[in-house]
């Protein structure tokens, strides 16, 4: 009589179970690694060695300024940037403007600049800024600003959308929706 461990059919079945288990574990590890990489991409991993191409493209652009002249993004290169995409017709955008302005005034001395890119027409932006002036630069991105924000990670194309870019041109934070004072403060803490 043959023992069960030397039965070729049982040994083959055990081998298949082991291979299946190993394949399942391997697939799980690959999925976990992919999740980590996607998570880092979405939040703009702070340890990324290379500048983010979309951020570099943004830093090469020029936008008309509501008061005349141009906002040359290249002039801001080498600084921490909090870039906020907004519109006058967007209630959460309007609501967060005073906080973004306060943040800019408090942190610009530390080399952190807020930039507003209006996904809107020039006339509504000018009228809005007459009523609620801000101390940070505003650029008129127009409807093309929607695609620009998508390039920076705004998958839904919604507003407001804020992205933090470090001095090397690496995206460090992305946020779709209104920011809060606590959130902005946390981002500043990360900039040290």
pLDDT tens, residue order, the chain (192 aa): 444 455 666 656 565 566 655 455 444 444 444 444 444 444 444 454 489 999 999 999 999 999 999 999 999 999 999 999 999 999 999 999 999 999 999 999 888 999 999 999 999 999 999 999 999 999 999 999 999 999 999 999 999 999 999 999 999 999 999 999 889 888 877 665
Edge-to-edge strands of the sheet including 70-72? 70-72, 62-64, 138-140, 112-118, 80-86, 161-165, 171-176
3-state secondary structure the chain: CCCHHHCHHHHHHHHHHHHHHHHHHHHHHHHHHHHHHHHHHHHCCCCCCCCCHHHHHHCCCEEECCCCCEEEHHHHCCCEEEEEEECCCCHHHHHHHHHHHHHHHHHHHHCEEEEEEECCCHHHHHHHHHHCCCCCCEEECCCHHHHHHHHCCCCCCCCCEEEEECCCCCEEEEEECCCCHHHHHHHHHHCC
* pLDDT computed for residue 189 by the predictor: 79
Rounded Cα–Cα distance for residues 71 and 64 (Å)? 6
**119 touches 149 (CB < 8 A):** yes
Rounded Cα–Cα distance for residues 127 and 192 (Å)? 37
Rounded Cα–Cα distance for residues 167 and 63 (Å)? 20
pTM greater than the 0.85 cutoff: no
* pLDDT computed for residue 165 by the predictor: 94
């Amino acid at each position: 009589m043959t023992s069960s461990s030397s039965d070729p059919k049982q040994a083959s079945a055990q081998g298949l179970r082991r291979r299946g288990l190993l394949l399942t574990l391997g697939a799980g590890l690959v999925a976990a690694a992919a999740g980590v990489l996607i998570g880092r991409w979405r939040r703009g991993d702070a340890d990324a060695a290379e500048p983010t191409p979309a951020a570099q493209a943004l830093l090469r652009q020029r936008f008309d300024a509501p008061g005349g002249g141009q906002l040359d993004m290249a002039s801001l290169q080498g600084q921490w940037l909090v870039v906020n995409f907004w519109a006058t017709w967007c209630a959460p955008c309007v609501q967060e403007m005073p906080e973004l302005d306060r943040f800019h005034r408090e942190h610009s001395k530390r080399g952190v600049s807020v930039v507003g890119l209006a996904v809107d027409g020039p006339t509504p932006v000018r009228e809005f800024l007459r009523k609620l002036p801000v101390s940070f630069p505003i650029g008129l991105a127009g409807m093309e600003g929607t695609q620009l924000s998508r390039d920076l990670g705004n998958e839904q194309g919604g507003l407001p959308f804020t992205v933090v870019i470090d001095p090397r041109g690496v995206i460090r934070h992305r946020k779709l929706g209104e920011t809060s004072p606590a959130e902005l403060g946390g981002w500043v803490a990360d900039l040290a």
